[in-house]
Amino acid sequence: MLQKRNNVKHESIIQKRDSILVPARQPSYWRGQPVKGHLSDKIHLTTERLEKALQTNQTLRSAYEEMDGDPQSKIPFLVWLLENPDSPLSLPGKIYLYKHDYLHLLLKRGFSLDDEAFIVGFTMGNDSNTKWFHIALFKLISSKFYPKKYQFTKKHFQEFYLGFEYGKKVKTKNINSLDFELYYNKPILEIREQLGIT
């Protein structure tokens, strides 16, 4: 794991259940092993962190670097198969995990299964290639074949459809394919405004 403190990078080997101490009043940014130049972690975003990112008008980079979570390797294969652009069977709305996590920040959503359903709905609704049969296929597989922890119920599909409809309304289309490098050092509120996210 890499840590940046006082513009000096520190590398540590972290084992399961290790505790990490950071000196008081020292701003620190942690990241896991990068994949193609991007952090590959699954973010656990708390409401407090989200509000801080928006209130302080953090850049996308700084808000993202403050987050931690499970590695890409913990994402189930079937989820990867339908939702990752590298999959030969991915559906419209497909998005890399780091971009998916950027959307949690931009859409002010946490990481409950309801929030995940909203984000997936948003990316599918915002993708100009999505057809009715893509939605039907996603609903079938995510409700019947996804691992239990990731399975969507009727309640989750209510959030999915809210996200889907909102994704259709946002002025910038195909956000899932957006080059976020252009926005990485911009404040989150400015990015939301530029993309038409209210």
102 and 162 assigned to the same domain? yes
Domains identified in the chain, total number: 2
- What amino acid is encoded at 80 in this protein? W
Task: Indicate whether 94 pLDDT > 70.
Answer: yes
pLDDT at 108 over 50: yes
The pTM of the full predicted model, rounded to 2 decimals, is: 0.74
53 plus 25 within the same structural domain: no
Q: Do 22 and 101 have their domain in common?
A: no
Give the residue numbers spanning the domain of 71: 37-195
187 and 135: one domain?
yes
Domain match, 115 and 21 both: no
Q: Which H or E run contains 90?
A: none
Is there a single domain that holds both residue 26 and residue 121?
Answer: no
Helices 132-144/113-126 angle, 10° precision: 160
Tens of pLDDT, residue by residue over 111-159, are 899 999 999 999 999 999 999 999 999 999 999 999 999 999 999 999 9
The CA distances from residue 33 to 73, 84, 126, in Å, are: 11, 19, 30
pLDDT at 57: 80
pLDDT in tens, 19-74: 343 433 333 333 443 333 333 333 345 556 666 666 668 999 998 888 765 567 88
